[in-house]
A and B are shown apart, each in its own frame.
Chain A
Amino acid sequence: MSSTTLTPPLTPPPIETPWVLPSRGKVGMFSLIAAESAIFTIFVVAYVFYIGKSISGPTPREVLELPIFNTVCLLSSSLTIHFALGALKKGNRAVFTAFWALTIALGAIFLFGTAREWHHLIYDKGLTIQTNLFGTTYYSLVGLHAFHVTVGLFGLSLVLAFALLGWVKQEHYGRVDVLSLYWHFVDVVWIVVFFVVYVAGR
């Protein structure tokens, strides 16, 4: 409080320059991914907890087939988006747009594959969300993931539209990169879903 000392004012030590903090987009996206992971974790736990607990058929072994083609498509879309960003970083906008469109195509193929699988399960095998615990947990977990793919595709398509209009330039690399983080997250979740539902669950 009372300052009776006669020392002259001191000059503080210099502040670290330039003062750079992490990018807001990335920190925000990682926070969102953390929250999303927690939501998926609960659905995965419910799936694992109810494996083999259905009191009536059909069972996963009877009706599920390994979605190899779908998986390959989705996982390679992570590679294509990576290439797209690499091109944008170098300022090669044509290559960026091409790889970006390819990413969307692969994601759409995945979604179409899921739709066909569901159609097959519902109309040929008679498995709905009401049938048994397997149906309940299967449709909700795979559906939650498919919902995230849909949201991702919407975001990617928006960027594609901007790119086709010539609005996406090298300086937007950081922003587009944030979106790609989300897409990678959706892919990683699929790896978990694949192992839980189609490998361990069968």
Chain B
Amino acid sequence: MSSETMALSPHAVETQSLAERLHGWATTVDHKRIGVMYIGFALIFLVIGGIEAIIMRIQLALPNNDFVSPQVFNRMFTMHGTTMIFFVAMPIMFGFGNYTVPLLVGTRDMAFPRLNAFSFWLTAFGALLMYFSFVGGFGLYGAGSAPDVGWFAYAPLTSKVFSPGHSSDFWSLGLIVSGFGSIGTSVNMITTIVCSRCPGMTLNKMPLFAWMNIVMSGMVLFAISPLTAAQIMISLDRYLGAHFFDTQAGGSAVIWMHFFWIFGHPEVYILIIPSFGFISEIVPVFSRKPIFGYPIMVGATVAIGFISFSVWAHHMFTVGMNSWGNTFFAITTMAVGVPTGIKIFNWLGTIWGGKIQFKTPMLFSLAFLFQFLIAGLTGIMLSSTPFNWQLSGSYFVVAHFHYVIVGGILFAVFGGFYYWYPKITGKMLSERLGKLHFWLFVIGFHLTFDFMHIPGLLGMPRRIYTYEAGRGWEIWNQIVSVGALFQGVAVLIFVFNMIWSYWKGKDAGCDPWDAWTLEWTTTSPPPEYNFATIPTVHSSRPLWDLKHPEDPDWKYE
């Protein structure tokens, strides 16, 4: 296969018909194309999930509003949460991992290229299956359309009695299918990093992004599988009349919560750890210094990976556990903040004394550091059980986790886009549009999610479709909604920037950022085979060694 595609000259590609090119994309096993497909797929769903969010914000901007019905509102928050986690955040991480990890570790493809393509298509069809519910969810019983059970789908909402029709079936089947895709990609990622590193790249010379991806993939194996198992149980309950979550037959609704959150909490770290990887690649390059405390960084990541599997019931303090349970989960939750804090200090140590270049990737990374810190602090607040009893299920919690996911993960992803777009397309993204995107998004983000904490503290529950006037929530909800519009406009500018720069952007060359890792040694975009000869490395900054043969890093490592 590879010899055949390698023989295609750029000229031959241009003369292909549209059908041939589509066929090429649909049948590709090249990690770079699959990575791009993951990212494109995620961006489409980012816009869809964003529209769902905007619909909710319009509905909540005014008290007693009736922009959408309560039923539609339920579908919107369910699909918004599910979409953003499973069809935006995870695919985008897998996309960047797929594209960059083989380049970073100096190999020509993932360990199992066909499994890679298969996993991508599983994820894509899982998403299509779930979104098909908008048209096909009426089913035989004439009730229900898109899933409306909330993204954590607490039992017994998913039982046949409370969820007739097929919307919940589409929900669980879509997640089972895309879950197998995630497991496949993670198996692939681990194998690639363990077995395909180029000569000389021992584990202590591996780029931190590869380290973060192997930890993330390991977590996927142990976190997505419980979700898949629990989804199988839901399907057994719904189709075969089993009683896993059927309280009428002695089943337990609480065990679903445990199964869901033993996936749900590590999931946050599955998304944030690759984000740490982005930051760990971007911050050193734009501070012109090697990363501070590499081994501690690796150790902290592995520690987070382990500890995050012992904290899940902090989502369940209000269920009524005994005080030992409450204490245990409060302490472990606080403990997971320790390695995370260590990382923040390491990035600050990297920036400290550096020759900082305020390019767009760096701006997003700096905002990440600040916002992720605040997100962590509200997380520590919520880990305190009595505080949590007051605020669980309120907008304070919604504000907290959006601070993590938008203020942390999405900012890191945007940084990653500006950093690696030149490698992927060969063109620079416009810095001017990039800075406009950054500032609009920062303003929108803070308008929305800083102020969202306040109605939470004032007692506004999450998932209500409207509220009465005179409770003191109106002004805060209006500010939050205005911020959402800012973010929407910023994302449109970002999408425009990507399209415009693809045609009109400056040529990037191999190494536009004067960076140090292997992906910048090859052309932009890289050839199908990545490297003409497989590189050998002697330090964790191989490109620095090439550029500075008189003062290489390996002298000091």
Check B555 for interface membership: any CB of A closer than 8 A.
yes
Is the Cβ of B221 less than 8 Å from the Cβ of A35? Answer: yes
Could you tell me the distance between the alpha carbons of A8 and B548 in the complex, rounded to whole angstroms?
10
Is the Cβ of B191 less than 8 Å from the Cβ of A24? Answer: yes
Could you tell me the distance between the alpha carbons of A148 and B111 in the complex, rounded to whole angstroms?
24
- From B111, B112, B200, B244, contact of A46 by CB (8 A): B244
Within 8 A of B (CB), among A10-64: 10, 12-13, 15-17, 19, 21-24, 27-28, 31-32, 34-39, 41-43, 46, 49-50, 53-55
Residues A42 and B190 in contact in the complex (CB < 8 Å), given A9-B550, A53-B250: no
Check A132 for interface membership: any CB of B closer than 8 A.
yes
Residues A3 and B249 in contact in the complex (CB < 8 Å), given A19-B200, A28-B191: no
- From A12, A34, A50, A139, contact of B552 by CB (8 A): A12
Is the Cβ of A132 less than 8 Å from the Cβ of B236? Answer: no
Could you tell me the distance between the alpha carbons of A39 and B249 in the complex, rounded to whole angstroms?
24
Check B259 for interface membership: any CB of A closer than 8 A.
yes
- From B183, B217, B241, B551, contact of A3 by CB (8 A): B551
- From A1, A24, A39, A140, contact of B242 by CB (8 A): A140
Note all chain B residues with C-beta closer than 8 A to A41.
226
Within 8 A of A (CB), among B531-557: 536, 538, 545, 548-552, 554-555
Could you tell me the distance between the alpha carbons of A46 and B254 in the complex, rounded to whole angstroms?
12
Is the Cβ of A39 less than 8 Å from the Cβ of B250? Answer: no
Is the Cβ of A28 less than 8 Å from the Cβ of B111? Answer: yes
Note all chain B residues with C-beta closer than 8 A to A49.
252, 255
Note all chain A residues with C-beta closer than 8 A to B195.
21-24, 27
Is the Cβ of B190 less than 8 Å from the Cβ of A27? Answer: yes
- From A38, A130, A136, contact of B222 by CB (8 A): A38
Is the Cβ of A3 less than 8 Å from the Cβ of B548? Answer: yes
Interface size class of B (residues with CB under 8 A): 35 or more
What's the least CB distance linking A177 to chain B, in Å?
Answer: 15
Note all chain B residues with C-beta closer than 8 A to A35.
183, 186-187, 221-222, 224-225
Closest to B200 in A: A15
Within 8 A of A (CB), among B239-286: 240-244, 249-252, 255, 259
Check B26 for interface membership: any CB of A closer than 8 A.
no
A-B contact pairs, 14 of them (CB 8 A): A1-B355, A6-B550, A13-B538, A27-B194, A28-B187, A28-B188, A38-B222, A39-B226, A42-B226, A42-B259, A46-B233, A49-B255, A136-B236, A140-B232
Query: B residues touching A (Cβ–Cβ < 8 Å)?
Result: 111-112, 183, 186-188, 190-191, 194-197, 199-200, 217-218, 221-226, 228-230, 232-233, 236, 240-244, 249-252, 255, 259, 288, 355, 536, 538, 545, 548-552, 554-555
| Extra 18 A-B pairs, beta carbons < 8 Å, given A43-B229, A140-B233 | A1-B355, A12-B538, A15-B200, A24-B111, A24-B191, A28-B111, A32-B187, A34-B222, A38-B226, A42-B226, A42-B259, A53-B250, A55-B249, A129-B236, A132-B243, A136-B243, A139-B242, A140-B244
